[in-house]
Structure 1
Amino acid sequence: MSFSNEVRKEICSDITDKDRRFACLYGMLLFCRHLGSERISFQSKSRVSADEFAELFRRVFGRELDCRLSESTSGKTLYIYDITEPELISEVFAKYRFSDGTRAFDDELVSTSSLGVFTAGVFLSCGSVNDPEKEYHLEFSVPYEPLAEVLVTLLGDIGVNARTTHRRGQNVVYIKGSESIEDTLTFIGAQQCTLELMNVKIYKDVRNKANRIANCDTANIDKVVAAAMKQQEDIRLIASTVGLDSLSEELREVAELRLDNSGMSLSEIGASLSEPISRSGVNHRFKKLARLADEIRNGGSFEK
């Protein structure tokens, strides 16, 4: 099941009393595909949303609706409920104070405590949310442009920064960012899905941190290996030209340890010397060896 349908199922499970059914159906009708005095048409690619619309309509208006199946442009099944009976349309318009030709949100119909349920109906009608494993994105494909601004304002009242755009002739209200999506899901009654999204975010943050640490460790290892190879190259040059016996005892000892132990860290080399020294002390001796090797490459003489 998609994450969007998980949200829809959780929303529907909480629409359990008369006021909540009224508010949720209001959101579904106001934001449905077509709302006019001759036809009301609710369409959805989600069977969950379609079944909930039929159930809420039956509970609010006492009428059974017939579902018609069609195929959307994307090849998915489209569940359609067309209401064309004039008397029933008039009853719907009267109950929800709809006006033909315009769609306006009547805040007097919905109490403040029911705004979340109303917005849940909007989500069931035209909303979707991406799988948080892939992307943080929630959107509403709003059929009537003025309603897009109504929805942006309503979401803004709970601190969610929603934006609008146009896509393929649709007015889209979209929300980016995990925290804003969490707030929206909680507002519309999908608390368990909110927790699921938060868990995914925590997992992704931990995984990304682990990857950064691993990448950093790999980079550090690569630097250490490259430095050790350069040190061995310098020492072999010195050995093949002037000989390691020409070096001071201090330099000869670290040189021989490096030749025999390419994987040793500077600290480990320092601890293995006859007279142990610090990491910085070992690094200082290797710098001396590097200068000697450079002098040999440049054809000059060197001091031990």
Structure 2
Amino acid sequence: MVKISFSNDVRHEICSSVNDKDKRFACLYGMLLFCRTLTRERICFQSESSTSAALFKSLFKAVFHIELSESEHIRKNGTVLHSYDIEGETASAVFEKYKISGYERVIDSEIIATNSLGVFTAGVFLACGSVNDPSKEYHLEFACPEEGISEQLLMLLNDIGVNAKKMLRRGQNIVYIKGSESIEDTLTFIGATQCTLELMNTKIYKDIRNKANRIANCDAANIDKVVKSAMKQIEDIKLIDHSLGLESLSDELREVAQLRLDNIDMSLQEIGENLSEPISRSGVNHRFKKLAKLADEIRCGGIKHEK
């Protein structure tokens, strides 16, 4: 089974929320204003999403009472591009109904009631938006058809408290959002609340997984450190044994040295607990420092070989 993308999940949820006359009008306005071609002579709405394409056709019929014909183009990469061409009197009717300027694309706030602003932005997302799978990357973007309209969208998003930015990618004006919280706010604003919850759950899972990885990495580093320390201690003890003999050591140093030789994987605390007279970790560490100092003196020739 092919897994539906997170972007398509968002589109499906938006479609189910556009369910009354005002919402249909506002959503279609967003889709038209951010579609590929928008002139009085020709309007062309294109999308690789069959969900967005189907909703555009449905909304256009609801608002203008006209049944549009869809054409499909199969691209080299195998994706299907769904297209609707609106020309002549129908295109003029769209411009008149939505009071669209023939010179530039402008978001007309008078057309959209305050409670329809989110639905309008949902239409913009359906026309040119996409969002990455949150398990991989936090990124939502709008590939806008013109620079002027991208600036207006950027201001709209910033006005609702979303930290959006703008860039030019291969000649195309991109308005994008990176932070997970801003993406959550955007998805909620455009009516995709279930997808917002999914993103939040994914973020929690990623945070827990990352924390677990950090702990595991820390544990691995600590184990590495303990093993290296134990190897150094054994090297010192063997040098002392070879040069002076362990019997030359005091009872307390000899006991800790023998425990280390027999148990390379023991921590200092475990060695301290297994002594005939248990001592603290710092006490064990102090004894190993004495052994290390004695071994260094042997290496420097301060104590001669006696065996």
Question: Do both proteins adopt the same fold according to a TM-score greater than 0.5, normalized to the shorter chain?
Answer: yes
Percent identity at matched positions?
Answer: 69
Deviation at 1:73, TM superposition (A): 6.5
Deviation per CA, 1:141-198: give whole Å up to 9, x if none: 1001111111011111110111111112211101111001000000000000000001
State which of 19, 24, 28 in structure 2 corresponds to 1:21: 24
| Partner in structure 2 of residue 46 of structure 1 | 49
| 1:217 matched to 2:219 | yes
Which blocks of at least 5 consecutive residues in structure 1 are unaligned? Answer: none
Deviation per CA, 1:126-149: give whole Å up to 9, x if none: 000011111100000100111111
Deviation at 1:43, TM superposition (A): 0.5
Q: Return the alpha-carbon distance in structure 1 between the equivalents of residues 113 and 193 of structure 2.
A: 21
RMSD: 1.1
| 1:68 matched to 2:71 | yes
| Partner in structure 1 of residue 138 of structure 2 | 136
Count of aligned pairs between the two proteins: 301
Q: What secondary structure sits across from 1:164 in the alignment?
A: strand
Q: Return the alpha-carbon distance in structure 2 between the equivalents of residues 55 and 236 of structure 1.
A: 85
4+ runs deviating over 6 angstroms:
none
**Pairwise mapping of residues 94-113 of structure 1 onto structure 2 (< 5 A)?**
94-113=96-115
Deviation at 1:72, TM superposition (A): 4.2
Q: Aligned pair in 2 of structure 1 residues 124, 101: CA closer, same or farther (>3 Å)?
A: same
Which blocks of at least 5 consecutive residues in structure 2 are unaligned? Answer: none
State which of 81, 84, 96 in structure 2 corresponds to 1:81: 84
Deviation per CA, 1:215-272: give whole Å up to 9, x if none: 0011001111111111111111111111001111111111111111111111111111
Do 2:187 and 2:196's aligned partners in 1 also have CA atoms closer than 8 Å?
A: yes
Q: Return the alpha-carbon distance in structure 1 between the equivalents of residues 164 and 296 of structure 2.
A: 63
Deviation at 1:101, TM superposition (A): 2.6
Q: What secondary structure sits across from 2:137 in the alignment?
A: coil
Scaled by the length of structure 1, what TM-score is found? 0.97
State which of 243, 257, 260 in structure 2 corresponds to 1:258: 260
Scaled by the length of structure 2, what TM-score is found? 0.96
Q: Return the alpha-carbon distance in structure 2 between the equivalents of residues 169 and 267 of structure 1.
A: 64
State which of 195, 202, 207 in structure 2 corresponds to 1:205: 207
Q: Return the alpha-carbon distance in structure 1 between the equivalents of residues 56 and 110 of structure 2.
A: 22
Q: What secondary structure sits across from 1:121 in the alignment?
A: helix
| 1:4 matched to 2:7 | yes
Q: Return the alpha-carbon distance in structure 2 between the equivalents of residues 145 and 71 of structure 1.
A: 28
Do 2:163 and 2:179's aligned partners in 1 also have CA atoms closer than 8 Å?
A: no
State which of 162, 165, 173 in structure 1 corresponds to 2:164: 162
Q: Return the alpha-carbon distance in structure 2 between the equivalents of residues 112 and 160 of structure 1.
A: 17
